[in-house]
Structure 1
Amino acid sequence: MTILHFRIVLLLLFCLSLIGCNRPDFYDSYGKPLDITDYQGQWLLINYWAIWCTPCIKEIPELNKIDTQANVSVLGINFDNIENITELQQQVAQLKIAFPVFKQDPTAQLNWTRPQVLPTTLVISPNGKVVKQLVGPQTLESIKLAIAAAQ
């Protein structure tokens, strides 16, 4: 086997090894991998928001607080599914969103129903099941009540 053949075989093996690797399907608005399975074992809130939605803007500070609570995380989804990443980052900064926001809407891939009203928050149990859909602006108290009712 020549050195060229050896290098080709090594390159092929490397490429084949990548096929079996777990690569994330989703990224946040800053390019960081977002893997829903990282949140198993805790409560997860998926919040749909838009820059033009006044109730969405009102609830962002509450969601930021909730995201700092033990055993609860928040992920955001921009309802308008903005493709321009710079524009999405500007909106996240403008609204002072402190929790991760999906770069693209994962609703279809995760078999969720896309909400028709904003804001909408999905409450996902520690075992990964959507247990409640909350419509309207949420507070720390309303989220605590929703989680208590779902337990």
Structure 2
Amino acid sequence: MAVQRPFLRTPGFWVIVLAALIAGAAGIYAASSRYSPAPAADGVVEQFFRTALPDAAGKPVDMGAFRQKTVVINFWAPWCAPCVEEMPELTALADEVRSRNIHFVGIGIDSATNIRDFSAKVPVSYPLAVAGFSGTELARAFGNTVGALPFTVIVTPEGNISYRKTGQVTQAELKTALGI
């Protein structure tokens, strides 16, 4: 005996299904638009290279040292769960590609104390600079208008931005973006 589903034949059911599909598509579009980086500000790469920020011990990290190198810039914070989750992968990749003139730098959006405490628990092999909440302005200049973390940028040796992502990044994504 066949199961009857008379509700499938009613126009009201299909209107609800169509409305749900449209709402879902609109939500996906809004989320992807909201978290897609905006165009970077003119001169932001030069601004980055002119920046020196302290590390957690107060020693300056001169971003100009990354000039004419490929640099992966990761804006993060110790209180950001996706940031903390991606750190071991970023560290492993940084170690793997260092001989290829590819360098990583973390720009911490927090206090030196919190970044120092984090570093004691989670080993990171690349420099971690302390920008505090003012680091969000540099991230914003790179196109992170929503201020979400993590936010990752790749700058080529020629000083061009080749990759930007708001949200957690994986080794595979970065390897593809780096062409390795």
TM-score band w.r.t. shorter chain: 0.5 to 0.7
Q: Report the structure number with the largest CA radius of gyration.
A: 2
Secondary structure at the aligned position of 1:123 is classed as strand
Q: CA RMSD in A?
A: 2.7
1:1-150 correspondence to structure 2 within 5 Å = 25-68=52-95, 69=97, 70=99, 71-79=101-109, 81-82=110-111, 85-104=112-131, 105-106=134-135, 108=137, 111-114=141-144, 116-148=147-179
Secondary structure at the aligned position of 2:113 is classed as helix
Deviation at 1:122, TM superposition (A): 0.8
TM-score where L is the length of structure 2: 0.58
Q: Which has the higher helix share?
A: 2
Q: Aligned pair count?
A: 124
Q: Distance in 1 between matches of 2:137 and 2:80?
A: 22
Deviation at 1:109, TM superposition (A): 6.3
Q: Which runs of 5+ in 1 are unaligned?
A: 1-22
Q: Distance in 2 between matches of 1:127 and 1:107?
A: 24
- Inter-CA distance 119–109: structure 2 relative to 1 (3 Å threshold): closer
- Inter-CA distance 27–139: structure 2 relative to 1 (3 Å threshold): same
TM-score where L is the length of structure 1: 0.67
Q: Which runs of 5+ in 2 are unaligned?
A: 1-49
